[in-house]
Structure 1
Amino acid sequence: MLKLYVNPVYLIPENRKFVFPLLFDLWYVPNANLLEKYQIVSEIAHCDIVVVPIDIARFDSGKSQQKLNDFINRALDLDKKVWLYSGGDYGKSISMNNQVYTFRLSGFASQLNAQTFILPSFVNDPYSSLSKEFRTIGKLQQAQIGFVGHANNSFFKKIKEYLLFLKYNFRRFIGKIQTDYQRFYPSGVKRFLYLKLLKKNPEIITDFIFRNQYRAGVKTEEEKKKTTMEFLENIESNPYTFCMRGVGNFSVRFYETLAMGRIPFVIDTDFSLPLSHEINWEKHCVIAKSNEIAESLIHFHKNCSFEDFELMQQNNRKLWQTHLQRDAYFLKIYSLFKADIQ
């Protein structure tokens, strides 16, 4: 069992949405499987790992940042490992010591240190919303790919994304927020252009629904339910789903596609994926360079046998169940750190 020290003063209802994801299942809604592996202790001297309980972005102001640094240094002085959680679209990794580990959703693979762990986007089982059971889709002669989402190439969209980029980085420059820097990336515009490349290729069957706004700009619960069902039904009815980063360098759609036992077709943006020490991601998705998008999909589809095509779908659904749900992911993390501490 791994013993964790957490300052309980932060584990209040108001912090549920900012909490280190593992603590949600240890404190707010206890998970029996995880409680067999992790124990929260009341004394820092008795722990294996010190956990900063909430998103480190909550400590961005000057005094709070010093408080966070002092807490980390105290743990390091006691020769304890430290786990941090950096949420949101950008995030950051803290490189104070090789005993400090950061869990985050996004980042650039070429820039992340060895102490960074990528978190999956923890999604609910889409088949519960669809009231359907998982089934595989047989291979057709042509690759068939779906997408429902925000993709817009208008001039005003480009200007809006750039202004938001400038505003964010001004706040970063003056120290209001502390995240890793990333260059301007108009994801909605690029997504539109890449989808159009696929759509005009006669060797590819496309099933695309373009939205001008995120989540189609829905206002009511009824509209939200309708667009969510359209989104999930599109993934369910197409063997491939187009996945690409948004504001942050990660895709929630990628994990929803795996959860539904479909094949993510992903644009390579120097992203990093979870548990890459254990998972051979090339066996679960198609990763394409931005200058050979259609060619990558066509090549993969032609060279995948009928049997392997359906087996890949089965394995993707299984992978989500055994590695990418929140409890499953932290059981894998437990095995990794327990072996290291022993």
Structure 2
Amino acid sequence: MKLYYPKAHYNENFRTLVFPLLKPFIKGENFTDAERIALYGISENDFIFTEVLEEADLVFLTMAWNYYVNTDRKDIAISFVKQCELLNKKVIAFNAGDFGVNIPIFDNLIVLRPSGYKSKFSKNEYSMPAFIEDPLPQYFNSNEIIQRPYNPKATIGFCGQANSSQINAVKETFKTFLRNFKFHVGISKNDPQLLLSTSYLRASALKSLQKSSLVTSNFIFRKQYRAGVKKQKETHKTTLEFYENINSSDYVVCVRGAGNFSIRFYETLAMGRIPIFVNTDCALPLENEIDWKRHVVWIEKKEIKNIAEKVKDFHSALSSNDFIDLQNANRTLWNERLTLNGFFKTFRIK
């Protein structure tokens, strides 16, 4: 399959908004394939690119749609999509960030995004993973998961930010209200969000687990996201503590953040652990191909009060071998389907 992207659209000043699959290939002349494999897990031999649009089997929009909107270049993106439509070419675009932006609907335009509300997705809109580096070689000097033996009483992990203060919940909700208001009056281009305090929601789930005798809690609470670390967070001790918490747990609580998705969800799978997934109208990647309820403890938002019972029921239904198999299956799922290379090799357009 030959891939094409319009090189003239690339703006190095907005590299964070480059379509994820293209980042490993839009590099300096001295960038080697060995470096590409080490940094992105992708080789130049994995994908074939053409510089002739008419020869392409699939077309990517170089920059995220947010870029075209925020730099007043939306007409360029729309014109390119229409050009491809005349050539009977499908175009895949990226809607980036926690909130995303509104994208017009075209029959030949496929939109991928990590966030958003499933009930509001268009027929050509799909969820994509939040791509992360493999934590096992980085933090545990291994490519194999450290298997957890089965214990009748499951250990639940969480390391992160949660706040049970109702005053803080009101503040968070009001901030969301203001962002939504700015969208509706044309000041902001970010899509509106559900009026919800996510740190309070997370705290509610953790509190229900902590007070239950059915499970063992293994929680580390932070006052800020990633403990406030912004520079060199990959090597910071709090990041190692974060992954050690996952590693020393059977299940990990995964609740949305500012955007309606959880990076922790993918970090948990990569570690070979089982996410406790709190569904807030989320869209998960490859939903038509992956039976997600086999891989996670699925909790609807309204079921948070019963979260401990739901985890116990899920865990009790597993044998010792089942539990080990699920750990391995989750790691394999992440490695083969939810990494940058794995996702784009297996993603299929209907």
Paired position in structure 1 for 2:125: 116
User: Structure 2 CA distance, aligned partners of 1:264 and 1:237?
Assistant: 13
For 1:231 and 1:286, the matched residues in 2 are separated by: 20
The one-letter code matched in structure 1 to 2:69 is: D
CA change 1:190–1:222 in 2 (3 A) is closer
| Per-residue deviation, 1:251 | 0.4
**Alpha-carbon spacing, 1:218–1:39, altered in 2? closer, same or farther (3 Å):** closer
Partner of 1:243: 254
Preserved CA contact (<8 Å) 1:91 1:105: no
Find out whether 1:3 has 2:12 as its counterpart.
Answer: no
SS of the residue corresponding to residue 82 of structure 2 reads helix
SS of 1:145 mapped into structure 2:
strand
- Partner amino acid for 2:312? I
Amino acid at match of 1:296: K
Q: 1:20 to 1:221 in 2, by over 3 A?
A: closer
Separation in 2, partners of 1:140, 1:86: 42
Hey, what does 1:274 align to over in structure 2? Answer: 285
In the superposition, the TM-score normalised over structure 2's length comes to: 0.88
Kindly indicate whether residue 273 of structure 2 is the aligned counterpart of residue 262 of structure 1: yes
Moved more, 53-62 or 98-107: 53-62
What one-letter code is carried by the residue in structure 1 that aligns with 2:212?
N
Q: 1:93 to 1:305 in 2, by over 3 A?
A: farther
Secondary structure at the residue paired with 1:266?
Answer: strand
- Given the superposition, is the C-alpha separation of residues 315 and 219 from structure 1 closer, same or farther in structure 2, using an over 3 Å criterion? closer
1:86 correspondence with 2:102 = no
Q: Which amino acid aligns with 2:258?
A: V
1:99 pairs, out of 105, 108, 114, with 108
Mapped contact 1:125–1:259 kept (Cα < 8 A): yes
C-alpha displacement at 1:51, in angstroms?
1.9
What CA distance in whole angstroms lies between the structure 1 residues aligned with 2:181 and 2:71? 17
RMSD: 2.4
Evaluate the alpha carbon distance shift between residue 10 and residue 222 of structure 1 in structure 2; reply closer, same or farther with a 3 A threshold: closer
Residues 81, 108 of structure 2: 8 Å contact kept: no
Instruction: Output the CA distance in 1 between the equivalents of 2:104 and 2:273.
Output: 37
Match of 2:139 among 101, 110, 130: 130
Alpha-carbon spacing, 1:27–1:63, altered in 2? closer, same or farther (3 Å): closer
Aligned match of 2:307 in 293, 301, 304? 293
Task: Give the conservation status (yes or no) of the 8 Å contact 1:148–1:208.
Answer: yes
Amino acid in the other structure paired with 2:323: F
Contact in 1 for aligned 2:3/2:47 (Cα 8 Å): yes
Structure 1 stretch displaced more, 68-77 or 56-65? 56-65
Aligned equivalent of 1:15: 14
The whole-number CA distance in structure 2 between the counterparts of 1:66 and 1:222 is: 37
Aligned counterparts, 1:51-70, within 5 A: 51-61=60-70, 63-70=72-79
Matches within 5 A, 1:315-334: 315-333=329-347
1:40–1:175: structure 2 CA closer, same or farther, 3 Å change rule?
farther
Residue type at the aligned position of 2:8: V
The unaligned stretches of length 5 or more in structure 1 are none
The alignment of Structure 1 onto Structure 2 pairs a total of residues equal to 335
Confirm or deny that 1:232 pairs with 2:243: yes
Amino acid at match of 2:57: D
Deviates more, 1:309-318 or 1:40-49: 40-49
Deviation at 1:303, TM superposition (A): 1.1
- The amino acid of 1:41's aligned partner reads T
SS in 2 for 1:110: helix
Give 1:61 shift.
4.8
Q: What is the match of residue 25 of structure 2?
A: 26
Alpha-carbon deviation of 1:67? Answer: 2.8
**By how many angstroms is 1:178 displaced?**
3.3
Which runs of 5 or more residues in structure 2 are unaligned? none
SS in 2 for 1:256: helix
Structure 1 position 242, deviation (Å): 0.6
Distance (Å, rounded) in 2 between the aligned partners of 1:18 and 1:95: 19
State the AA in 2 paired with 1:237: S
Matches for 1:114-193 after TM superposition, within 5 Å: 114-133=123-142, 134-193=145-204
* AA in 2 matched with 1:90: F
Deviation per residue, 1:146-202 (Å, 9 max, x gap):
100000122452243134213322332233443443221210011011100110001
- Between the aligned partners of 1:231 and 1:37, the Cα distance in structure 2 is 32
TM-score norm. by structure 1 comes to 0.90
Name the amino acid aligned to 1:320: W
Shift, 1:272, TM fit = 1.2
C-alpha contact (below 8 Å) 2:154/2:216 kept by paired residues:
yes
SS of equivalent to 2:245: helix
Name the counterpart of 1:48: 57
Residues of 2 paired with 1:155 and 1:141: CA distance? 35
Is 1:307–2:306 an aligned residue pair?
A: no
In structure 2, C-alpha distance between the alignment counterparts of 1:324 and 1:62, rounded to whole Å: 30
Deviations along 1:88-118, one digit per CA (max 9) or x if unpaired, are 0122563522321001001222222332221
Q: Which residue of 2 aligns with 1:201?
A: 212
Q: Give how far 1:213 is off.
A: 1.6
Cα deviation, residue 37, structure 1:
5.3
